[in-house]
Chains A and B, each alone.
Chain A
Amino acid sequence: MAMLDQEQSFERSLERCLQDLERTGDIEACLRRYSQHADRLRPLLEMAQLARHYYKYVPEPPDGLVSGRERLLAAAAQQRARSALKSEAVMQSTKGQRRKLAFAMRFVGVLSAIVLGTVALGGGIAWAANDSLPGDVLYPVKITIEDARLALTSVPNHQVDLLLEFVEERVDEIQRLSATEYSVPGEVIARIERHIEQALTYAAQLPSDEEMVDTLGQIAMRTRTQAELLELMQPTASQQARTMLIQAAAIYRQGSEAAETGLGDPQTFRSRYRHQQGEPESTSEPRVMTITPGNDAEHGQEYQGCDQGRECTPTGTSNMTPQGPQATQSPNTPHAPQPSPWGPQSTPEPQPSPQNPQPTPEPQPTSQNSQPTPEPQPSPQNPQPTPKPQLTPEPQPSPQNPQATPGNPQATSSPQSTPPGSEVQPSPQATPQGTQATPKSNPTPKGP
């Protein structure tokens, strides 16, 4: 206890000295004031002064920060235009939905009861459902309307547009849910995965490479934007919400990467995704995917686990590469009604497992080397594939790959500057450039 008090006293002394030092720059005065800690304070205060000296100089920005301002205003103008279009589209789609629902009644038996109810209660319900969230009474109506819109669209380009609109709507829902105590049901995550993969599959069916590349560009850009939005929400989200945000962001990120892979190698992409044609649609189990949340697996002792000190628990696997017949949404049967519009649900979020905090990551098939696997293989972490995509923690960090950053799941494997768990890195990150001898050869660089 006395030891603890002494440490706290030292921490307080250090903090006060740092504050004084900023004003006066006088280390000796501080040491006199806290003479009981002088021996320990001196080296730290010297380092603080060195750091302050080092950080003092900042050159003028080469472009006077003008280009950044222009980019900001251009992005704002784009967002304004997008918002205006979205508002208009919502109004038009509400009208269109009513017409389409009435049409769908005659042909889609499964939907008829809901559509009848919707029509009976007036278009107001459809409109109200538009704003509903998972768990709301009207949410199944919203999902049904989405399915109906997709079912009534036959042009692949339009289908991709619709699917991207739906996955963007999911982000909006997740964003609103993350501010509440409610979690996002696994079905919502599974639906996102399914829709992104459907969009990729439709893109692969486009007749010309030019069209396919254009569409893949759209998919890559729009899913990447959504991933970034989800990543930006993470730092301030609750722990429970953050886990869900990481999962969702990883799915969007993988969708974006799959589309980008297609941009780089259209022929391979086309053959891979066309391979799914004619395969039976999975209605209860989405394909198995492997998600690697490179995002929050921050390195170093201050950031460990996938969530700034909190660990992610694997809850499934996911990968945007088709895995096999059972796990594939068939492009030929995209209009089938979805298994079940889900009702109110409280989905327990994955909890860290003390027995297995960092399970061995499963190998991830890549677009370059993966062969479609006939069936998803159960693993010790995932004995039975579930609809909910699972997080697979990153491989054990190594000096070559120690870092991952909150909010940036896309980069996971480049060489890192800082090994985890160590305060000092063993290898130089940057070598001083110039004509001077190497640091070792200059034994006494100037101290403070």
Chain B
Amino acid sequence: MANERALLERAKQYDEIALGELYDQYAPRIYAYIYRRVGNAQLAEDLTGDVFVRVIQAIQAEHLWHTSFQAWLYRIAHNLVVDYYRRQPAAVELELDEQMIANEENLTSTVADRLSNQFLHTAINRLTPSQQQVLTLRFGEGLTARETAEVMDKNTGAIEALQRRALAALRRVLEKEFQYGNA
């Protein structure tokens, strides 16, 4: 942590080496987070670049990130993702990456396995952005409730309630529209 603090202090002065280290450390995580939200690798990589350009624009405002640099990065990423969707016509939103449908892990699975990713993808995207965000952070990024609360600027209790509602809503969508569990 002390090391990160020192890196951030140097990054504040636009030190290339420090910025490069921070990028190497966090960019893969931010890329993964964005990919989980948009389902498209190229777009996720572009938006990851945007996140770090925004970091440069505001890194001198230390109060933005002094509690948690990681949480700040996730917040910027979330804003960019929602912003991206708002600018897109609904019809072109979220075409699931072919790779995501037929990824290597699924090659050994049944067709139904592969389909489930599509259904889940559709179902998750019916949830509110906050619900999607909490699911991604908790079950994709593996953050704790406290870390998720930092990212979402809420208290831990609110996050726990939100994730419960998100899971329940996901269940309802799958049951209602995809007859999940009715076999």
Distance of A61 Cα from B116 Cα, bound (Å): 23
Cβ of B6 < 8 Å from any Cβ of A?
no
| Chain A contacts to B: CB under 8 angstroms | 11, 14-15, 18, 22, 43-44, 46-48, 50-63, 65, 67-69, 71-73, 75-77, 79-80, 83, 175, 178-179, 225, 228-229, 231-233, 235-236, 298-303, 308, 403-408, 410-412, 414-418, 420, 422-425, 428-434, 436, 439-440, 442-447
Q: B50-87: contact bitstring with A at CB < 8 Å (1 yes, 0 no)?
A: 00111111100101100100001001100100110111
Inter-chain contacts of B14 with A (CB < 8 A): 76-77, 79-80, 83
**Bound form: Cα–Cα A67–B24 in Å:** 12
From known contacts A299-B128, A429-B125, infer whether A47 and B58 are also in contact, taking CB-CB under 8 Å: no
> How distant is the Cα of A346 from the Cα of B164 in the complex, in angstroms?
43
Do A443 and B126 touch (CB < 8 A)?
A: no
Contacting pair B161 A65 (CB below 8 A): no
Listed by A's residue number, 7 A-B pairs whose Cβ atoms lie within 8 Å are A54-B120, A61-B28, A75-B53, A229-B58, A229-B61, A300-B128, A418-B126
Residues on A with C-beta less than 8 A from B101 are 434
A22 and B142 contact, CB distance less than 8 A: yes
The CA-CA distance from A432 to B32 in the complex, in Å, is 21
Q: Which residues of B contact A436 (CB under 8 A)?
A: 111, 115, 118
Q: Say whether A308 contacts B182, CB under 8 Å.
A: no
Contact residues in B for A442 (Cβ distance below 8 Å): 115, 178
What 1/0 mask marks residues of chain B from 86 to 111 whose CB sits below 8 Å from any chain A CB? Answer: 11111001111101110101100011
A55-B36 in contact given A61-B48, A444-B183, A446-B113 (Cβ < 8 Å): yes
Contacts A76-B14, A436-B118: A61 and B45 contacting too (C-beta < 8 A)?
Answer: yes
What is the minimal beta-carbon distance from A313 to any residue of chain B, in angstroms?
21
Further 6 A-B residue pairs, CB within 8 A, beyond A50-B116, A54-B117, A444-B179:
A56-B105, A59-B35, A76-B19, A228-B54, A232-B57, A422-B128
Residue of B with least CB distance to A63: B45
Please give me the residue from chain B that is nearest to A413 by CB atom. B86
C-alpha gap A22/B173 in the complex (Å): 23
B-chain residues with CB within 8 Å of residue A423 when the two chains form the complex: 127-128, 131, 165-166, 168-169, 172
Contact of B79 among A407, A420, A429, A431 (CB under 8 A): A407
Q: What's the minimum C-beta distance from B35 to chain A, rounded to whole angstroms?
A: 5
In the complex, which residue of chain B has the Cβ closest to the Cβ of A10? B164
**Closest Cβ–Cβ distance, residue B43 to chain A (whole Å):** 10
Chain B binding site: helix, strand, loop or mixed by DSSP? helix
Interchain CA distance A168-B90 in the complex, whole Å: 36
Residue numbers in B under 8 Å from A298 (CB-CB)? 129-130
B167 lies within 8 A of A445 (CB): no
Q: Assess the A405–B95 pair: CB atoms within 8 A.
A: no
B149 at the interface (CB under 8 A from A): no
- Contact A443-B54, Cβ < 8 Å, known A73-B19, A416-B85, A425-B126: no
| Bound form: Cα–Cα A71–B47 in Å | 12
A54, A76, A299, A300: the one within 8 Å of B124 (CB): A54
Tell me, in angstroms, the Cα distance from A389 to B89 when the chains sit together.
32
**Docked pose: A410 CA to B87 CA in angstroms:** 10
Give every chain A residue within 8 A of B136 (Cβ-Cβ).
Answer: 55
Which of B86, B119, B127, B179 has the largest count of A CB atoms less than 10 A from its CB?
A: B86
Q: Are A175 and B180 in contact (CB under 8 A)?
A: no
- Cα A205 to Cα B89 with chains together (Å): 37
Pick from B100, B120, B138: contact of A50, CB under 8 Å = B120
Q: Is A44 within 8 A of B171, CB to CB?
A: yes
Q: How far is the CA of A43 from the CA of B103 in the complex (A)?
A: 27
Residues of B within 8 A of A231 (CB): 79
Contacts of A434 on B, CB cut-off 8 Å? 101, 118
Q: How far is the CA of A53 from the CA of B135 in the complex (A)?
A: 12
* A46 closest partner in B (C-beta): B171
Q: Nearest chain-A residue to B86 (Cβ)?
A: A411
A79 to B52, CA, bound (A): 13
Structural contact, B23 and A417, CB atoms closer than 8 A: no
Q: State A429–B167 Cα separation when bound (angstroms).
A: 18
- B4 interface residue per 8 A CB criterion: no
Closest 3 CB pairs of A and B: A300-B128, A55-B140, A68-B49
Closest to B51 in A: A68
Known A52-B139, A76-B14, A430-B121; contact A443-B182, beta-carbon cutoff 8 A: yes
Q: Give Cα distance in the complex from A416 to B183, angstroms.
A: 33
A178 contact set on B, CB distance < 8 A: 63
Are A405 and B86 within 8 A (Cβ)? yes
- Residue in B106, B131, B160 whose beta carbon sits within 8 Å of that of A302 in the complex: B131
- B162 located at the interface, meaning its Cβ lies under 8 Å from any Cβ of chain A in the complex: yes
Select A432's contact among B57, B89, B121, beta carbons within 8 Å.
B121
Interface hub of B55, B75, B90, B145 (most chain A Cβ within 10 A): B90
Interface string of B1-27 (1 = CB under 8 A from A): 000000000000011100110011001
Q: B56: which of A79, A422, A443 is its contact (CB, 8 Å)?
A: A79
- Other-chain contact of A403, B19, B82, B139 (Cβ < 8 Å): B82
Chain A residues contacting B122 (CB-CB under 8 Å) are 428-432, 439
Nearest CB in chain B: distance from A200 CB, A? 23
List the A residue with the shortest CB-CB distance to B97: A59
| A11 CB, nearest partner CB in chain B, Å | 5
Q: Which A residue sits closest to B145, measured CB to CB?
A: A15
**A54-B117, A436-B118 in contact; A69/B23 too (CB < 8 A)?**
yes
Q: How far is the CB of A308 from chain B (nearest CB, A)?
A: 6
In whole angstroms, what is the CA distance A424 to B168 when docked? Answer: 10
